[in-house]
Amino acid sequence: MKDKANIKELSTLIKTEAIRLGFAACGISKAAYLKDDAQRLKTYLEKNFNGKMSYMANHFDKRTNPQLLVEGAQSVISVLFNYFPNETQKDKQAPIVSKYAYGKDYHYVIKEKLNKLLAYIKEIEPETEGRAFVDSAPVMERAWAREAGLGWIGKHGLLINKQIGSFVFIGELIVNTSLSYDKPIKEYCGNCTRCIDACPTDAIITNKTIDARKCISYLSIELKSEIPEEFKGKFLNRVFGCDICQDVCPHNSKAIPHSHEELKPIQGLLEMRKTDWYTMDKAYFNKMFKHSPLKRTGFKGIKRNLNFISGYS
């Protein structure tokens, strides 16, 4: 498939298959150097806004140029996967878990679907080679989703899709096949500052820039050492992650609950009472969160977080 008509047809087939596989949206952009994003990342790292996430400085060139990740890369296929739940934790006094962590670890779910999409593309275009990426390699996923017209980067630094909001996972296929490319859309945040105003730790320091060292998600998940005392009483009962900036965003008022069986809440998680959290032992944790994103922090990390928020719920 070489001419424009066939390229457009192939692109349409890819998007249709992506939706059939359960993705909420699919867009395609040209695999090229992200010059502006590279400069923003450079400044971000120079100011140490990444905290102890040293991996963000690794493979800088690959992070901003997909052609260094996949030989002969021509296109970046970006997909969104809705994770907005239809129910939340029952006990309003229980430590709060970020909505993305209610179910099975999303990395496995999306990676499997992306590989199925890649296999489908190869059936139509046998010479296609590529790789699937789900938040596990030096890929600027939000930038690519933006370039593919799937949304814009909000003031809280997250991608916002005009139809379904920001409670979405992002995945990419970087392939060596030329496709029909989408264009970025305009931004719709306007003068709204709800996410900035609502952040209890003032982590959103400038438009679209987050100081991870102040972000509850970073402090409760990524940080492995003790949480600085200056944040005592500011976690608002968050034990793993934080959705505050998303919860107040007007664009999420239209969020539609997902129906993905793979992301169905872990049995018993939403029913856990405050006392269940504070009395659970390692065996209970390992059984409950065997396939959960909470494994990233581990039992020791969750206990650290519980001790930190204790008395402030």
The predicted-structure confidence for 220-276, as pLDDT tens digits, reads as follows 999 999 999 999 999 999 999 999 999 999 999 989 999 999 999 999 999 999 999
Q: Tell whether 26 and 160 lie within a shared domain.
A: yes
Q: Tell whether 146 and 16 lie within a shared domain.
A: yes
Q: Tell whether 168 and 25 lie within a shared domain.
A: yes
The catalytic position among 36, 37, 105, 135 is 135
Residue 312: predicted pLDDT: 65
CA atoms within 13 A on the CB side of 240: 22
**Under a CB-based contact definition with an 8 Å cutoff, are residues 241 and 101 in contact?**
yes
**93 is a domain residue:** no
Q: Tell whether 209 and 150 lie within a shared domain.
A: no
Q: How many domains does the chain have?
A: 2
Full residue range of the structural domain in which residue 126 is found: 4-86+99-175
Q: Tell whether 232 and 165 lie within a shared domain.
A: no
Task: Kindly report, residue by residue over 15-37, the tens digit of the pLDDT.
Answer: 999 999 999 999 999 999 999 99
> Which of 175, 210, 237 represents a domain boundary (last residue)?
175
**268 is a domain residue:** yes
Whether 135 sits among the annotated catalytic residues: the reply is yes
Q: Tell whether 170 and 201 lie within a shared domain.
A: no
Q: Tell whether 64 and 199 lie within a shared domain.
A: no
Residue 1: predicted pLDDT: 44
Q: Tell whether 142 and 217 lie within a shared domain.
A: no
Q: Tell whether 254 and 126 lie within a shared domain.
A: no
Q: Tell whether 29 and 149 lie within a shared domain.
A: yes
Which residues of the chain carry a pLDDT beneath 50? 1
**182 is a domain residue:** no
pTM of the model: 0.95
Q: Tell whether 215 and 169 lie within a shared domain.
A: no
